[in-house]
Homo-oligomer: A and B are copies of this chain.
Amino acid sequence: MNAPATLQSAPAFADAQASCPVALGWMQGSPPPPHRRIRLDDGSAYRFPQLRWSFCHLDHLMPVAEVARGPVPVWDLPRAERDDIGRLAFLPAASRRPIAWDQAMAEAYTDGVLVLHRGRIVHERYHGALGPAQRHTAMSVTKSVLGLLAAMLIDEGALREHAPLTHYLPELAGTGFAGATVGQVLDMATALDFSEDYADPQAHIWRHARACGVLPHPPGDTGPRSIAEFLRTVGAAGPHGQTFCYRTVNSDALALALQRVTGQDLATHLAERLWGRLGAEHTAYFTVDSEGTPFAGGGLNTTLRDLARLGEMLRCDGWADGRQLVPAAVVARLRAGGCPETFARARITGMRGWSYRAMWWVSHNPHGAWMARGVHGQALYIDPKAEMVVARYASHPLPASLACDPTALRAWQALGLRLAEGG
Taking beta carbons and an 8 Å cutoff, which residues of A are in contact with B?
Answer: 27-28, 30-32, 37-41, 59-66, 68, 70-71, 133, 226-228, 256, 259-260, 263, 265, 282-283, 285, 288, 290-293
Q: Are A256 and B30 also in contact (CB < 8 A) when A37-B291, A59-B59, A288-B60 are?
A: yes
Chain B residues with Cβ below 8 Å from A64 are 59-60, 64
Q: How far is the CA of A30 from the CA of B65 in the complex (A)?
A: 14
Q: Are A30 and B290 also in contact (CB < 8 A) when A62-B63, A133-B68 are?
A: no
Q: Are A61 and B63 also in contact (CB < 8 A) when A30-B260, A31-B293, A32-B291 are?
A: yes
Chain B residues with Cβ below 8 Å from A285 are 59
Chain B residues with Cβ below 8 Å from A62 are 63
Q: How far is the CA of A395 from the CA of B32 in the complex (A)?
A: 33
Q: How far is the CA of A124 from the CA of B263 in the complex (A)?
A: 28
**Distance from A262 Cβ to chain B, minimum over Cβ atoms (Å):** 9
Asked whether, in the complex, the Cβ of A39 is within 8 Å of the Cβ of B290, the reply is: yes
**Distance from A29 Cβ to chain B, minimum over Cβ atoms (Å):** 8
Q: How far is the CA of A38 from the CA of B293 in the complex (A)?
A: 12
Asked whether, in the complex, the Cβ of B63 is within 8 Å of the Cβ of A30, the reply is: no
Q: How far is the CA of A63 from the CA of B41 in the complex (A)?
A: 12
With beta carbons under 8 angstroms apart, the residue of B31, B60, B260, B292 that contacts A227 is B31
**Distance from A21 Cβ to chain B, minimum over Cβ atoms (Å):** 13
Q: How far is the CA of A282 from the CA of B282 in the complex (A)?
A: 9
13 sample A-B contacts, Cβ–Cβ < 8 Å, listed by A number? A27-B292, A30-B259, A30-B265, A32-B292, A38-B292, A39-B291, A39-B292, A59-B65, A59-B285, A60-B63, A60-B288, A70-B133, A283-B283
